[in-house]
Amino acid sequence: MPTWEYDSYCNDNVFDYLEEFNMKELFSRVEDDMTDYYYHEVSEADQEFIIGVSIYCIRKGKKFSVDFLNKLVIVIDYLLENGKFNGWKNIDKRKKKLNQEKLIINSIIQNKKIMFKDIIQQPDDFIDLNSNY
């Protein structure tokens, strides 16, 4: 599945899931769906998917529980410590983006206001940054 940026949500797997729902449906179910993934799916791609969907929803204004946000931090920490990052064109850029996303999540846990740029949409022409995803 194509990956067009190093942000966790910038791949077709995440967008395929997101496009199944309107925003209200997505926000009503995403925490339960991603918690289910957290407990039952163990591959690196599954963990990347959890982070990608969750970061997208955070950027769109979803308020997750602190318990769930802490799970996201655990997933990111696990990836940073144990991830193989197979297929990524630039592993350091991917790790840097994961660290930035962890900072975002920790800031939300601490009730800090976060500002985001626009969601990065898939461009017509791009280099796939992770063909294994």
Query: Can you tell me the distance from the alpha carbon of 51 to that of 53, in angstroms, rounded to the nearest whole number?
Result: 6
Per-residue pLDDT in tens (0 to 9) along the chain, 133 residues: 699 999 999 999 999 999 999 999 999 999 999 999 999 988 999 999 999 999 999 999 999 999 999 999 999 999 999 999 989 999 999 999 999 999 999 999 999 999 999 999 999 999 999 988 7
Query: Can you tell me the distance from the alpha carbon of 33 to that of 111, in angstroms, rounded to the nearest whole number?
Result: 24
133: nearest Cα among 70, 81, 79, 59: 79
114: nearest Cα among 68, 76, 58, 74: 58
Give residue 41's pLDDT: 80
Give residue 132's pLDDT: 81
Q: Give the start-end residues of each E strand in the chain.
A: none
